[in-house]
């Protein structure tokens, strides 16, 4: 298994690009480093002589910093990483920490959505605060100083620049690839017996790139893509004309690469015009959103890459990692248990702690990097498909897994899995009527591999 494009990252970026500098920023889509790129990498270790110290480490503590957008117009998209980190650290520290040391989020820096402030915060965290590791949730993430200092760095991959360096660990894997989502879309089109697909996206960067790639691959595989609009404004889009065109085109399946605000507006117009169409959203699976808009969302599907939250209630004991996550979040970070970015924070904190444990009591930053890069099936305690960090910095394997959810009543529930298994995996090249492949050992769930 390997990392893939997380649609939520693409959607946050789409909104960001419109908001920053009046839409003047243009970003390239996530690229997939090849196996040749991996072979050119000299090592999964830090450069010789770098990272040999242990800043922020005392006999009783390991001090960590976070840089995220906590204020300003972008805070809603980037501000929720820290609650997940804090909850995981609090859980670990309540059981004595790691080798007698507590893991402390000592520095919580706000870049306010500004590139200049992010650069200032980077040097503050590393040079002034002497943090052992840094968690990042910002569009303005630039990797160069983190890499040159061999600072273990974790967080939200929103713009595809986490790949290639041994010490950068984006939640779910450091490589983004846009094509990985298409087999999962095609499978849902088949399962809903849909005949004609409409595709909607914002006219900025990865939102349109993701949906353009999906539409092109579906079309090449023989699916009828009857309507496409990849130029919607991310703020205040009037979707009524698109819904009317979807109706005239006879589309019965809609793929949306918009944010939750756009998706809710889409659902409202679809209901108003009485369209009987299936909808697949890549944003909006949070329980609070589903409860608030349940009358509009009945039958809406989501594609997620983590064990769906409702699996804990439906299948008690089958996904203990999810149960631990929910219980801990409700205890230490109430209000964020259903937040996708908080989950990225939890997974990031779990990876840092796993690396610290594996490195042993004599800590250095380089030792944690080397130990982390020996982890071959990291699932954050059973929340996600395994990431092999021996290759997770460089390549995407040929398989990708999805957990489908469908809104039924006031919740989004797992569907299309086999029995209590929530994940369905595909070979990324299999697009025409894709067939699920066996779930590999390490995938969370009841199967035996």
Q: Judging by DSSP bridges, how do beta strands 102-110 and 133-137 pair with one another?
A: unpaired
How far is residue 55's CA from residue 125's CA, in Å, rounded to a whole number? 11
State residue 319's pLDDT score.
96
Rounded to whole angstroms, the Cα distance separating 122 from 153 reads 11
pLDDT at 24: 29
Instruction: Give residue 359's Cα distance to chain centre.
Output: 26
Cβ-based neighbour number of residue 392 at 10 Å: 28
Domains parsed from the chain with CATH numbers:
7-177+326-372 (3.40.50.2300), 179-304 (3.40.50.2300)
pTM for the predicted model, two decimal places? 0.89
pLDDT 10s digit of each residue in the chain, 449 long? Answer: 334 455 554 444 444 444 433 332 323 333 444 444 444 444 678 888 899 999 999 999 999 999 999 999 888 889 999 999 999 999 999 999 999 999 999 999 999 999 999 999 999 999 999 999 999 999 899 999 999 999 999 999 887 899 999 999 999 889 888 888 999 999 999 999 999 999 999 997 768 988 999 999 999 999 999 999 999 997 788 999 999 999 999 999 999 999 888 999 999 999 999 999 999 999 888 888 999 999 999 999 999 989 999 999 999 999 999 999 999 999 999 989 988 899 999 999 999 999 999 999 889 999 999 999 999 999 999 999 899 999 989 876 667 899 999 999 999 999 999 999 999 999 989 999 999 999 878 899 997 55
pLDDT for position 326: 97
Residue 100 host element (H or E): none
- Asked if residues 403 and 423 have their Cβ atoms less than 8 Å apart, the reply is yes
By C-alpha distance, which of 23, 429, 17, 398 is closest to 206?
A: 17
Query: Taking the CA atoms of the chain, what radius of gyration do you get in angstroms?
Result: 21
Return d(Cα 423, Cα 150) in angstroms, integer.
35
Element (H, E) at 447: none
pLDDT of residue 22: 33
- Measured CA to CA, the distance from residue 213 to residue 225 in angstroms comes to 12
pLDDT at 311: 96
Measuring CA to CA, which residue among 181, 174, 171, 425 is closest to residue 302?
Answer: 181
What are the DSSP calls for 163-219, one per residue?
Answer: TT-TTEEETT-S---GGGGHHHHHHHHHHTT--EEEEEEESSHHHHHHHHHHHHHHH
**Beta pairing, strands 423-427 & 399-408:** antiparallel
Please say whether the beta carbons of 263 and 286 come within 8 A: no
Name the burial class of residue 411, with classes exposed (0-12), middle (13-18) and buried (19+) by CB atoms within 10 angstroms of its CB.
Answer: middle
Show the tokens assigned to 318: 């089958």
127's CB contacts (< 8 A; 6+ apart) are none
Task: List Cβ neighbours of 193 (8 Å cut-off, separation of 6 or more).
Answer: none
Q: What's the pLDDT at 206?
A: 66
Kindly state the tokens that stand for 132.
């052992």
Q: How many CB atoms lie within 10 A of CB 96?
A: 10
**pLDDT number for residue 284:** 85
Contact by Cβ (8 Å): 400, 434: no
């Amino acid at each position: 298994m390997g990392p893939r494009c997380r649609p939520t990252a693409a959607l946050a970026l789409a909104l960001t690009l419109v908001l920053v500098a009046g839409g003047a920023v243009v970003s390239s889509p996530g690229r997939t480093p090849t196996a040749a790129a991996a072979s050119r990498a000299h090592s999964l270790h830090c450069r010789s002589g770098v990272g040999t110290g242990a800043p922020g480490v005392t006999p009783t503590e390991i001090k960590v910093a976070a840089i995220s957008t906590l204020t300003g117009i972008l805070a809603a998209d980037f501000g929720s990483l820290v609650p997940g980190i804090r909850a995981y650290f609090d859980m670990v520290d309540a059981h004595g920490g790691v080798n007698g040391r507590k893991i402390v989020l000592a520095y919580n820096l706000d870049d306010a959505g500004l590139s200049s402030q992010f650069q200032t915060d980077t040097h503050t965290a590393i040079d002034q605060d002497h943090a052992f590791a840094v968690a990042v949730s910002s569009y303005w993430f630039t990797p160069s100083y983190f890499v040159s200092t061999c600072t273990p760095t974790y967080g939200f991959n929103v713009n595809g620049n986490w790949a290639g360096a041994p010490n950068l660990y984006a939640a779910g894997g450091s490589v983004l690839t846009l094509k990985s989502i298409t087999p999962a879309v095609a499978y849902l089109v088949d399962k809903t017996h849909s005949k004609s697909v409409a595709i909607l996206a914002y006219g900025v960067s990865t939102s349109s790139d993701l949906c353009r790639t999906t539409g092109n691959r579906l079309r090449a595989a023989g699916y009828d893509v009857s309507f496409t609009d990849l130029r919607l404004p991310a703020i205040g889009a009037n979707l009524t004309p698109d819904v009317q065109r979807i109706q005239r085109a006879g589309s019965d399946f809609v793929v949306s690469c918009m944010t939750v605000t756009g998706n809710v507006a889409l659902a409202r117009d679809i209901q108003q015009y009485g369209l009987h169409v299936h909808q697949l959203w890549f944003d909006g699976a949070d329980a609070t959103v589903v409860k608030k808009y349940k009358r509009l969302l009945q039958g809406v599907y989501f594609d997620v890459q983590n064990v769906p939250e409702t699996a804990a209630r439906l299948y008690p004991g089958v996904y203990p990692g999810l149960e631990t996550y929910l219980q801990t979040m409700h205890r230490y970070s109430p209000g964020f248990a259903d937040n996708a970015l908080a989950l990225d924070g939890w997974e990031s904190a779990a990876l840092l702690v796993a690396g610290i444990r594996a490195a042993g009591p004599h800590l250095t930053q380089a030792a944690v990097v080397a130990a982390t890069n020996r982890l071959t099936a990291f699932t954050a305690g059973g929340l996600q498909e395994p990431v092999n960090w021996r290759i997770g910095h460089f390549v995407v394997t040929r398989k990708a897994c999805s957990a489908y959810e469908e809104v039924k009543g006031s919740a989004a529930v797992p569907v299309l899995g086999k029995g209590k298994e929530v994940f369905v995996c595909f070979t990324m090249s299999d697009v025409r009527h894709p067939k699920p492949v066996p779930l590999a050992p390490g995938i969370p769930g009841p199967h035996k591999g």
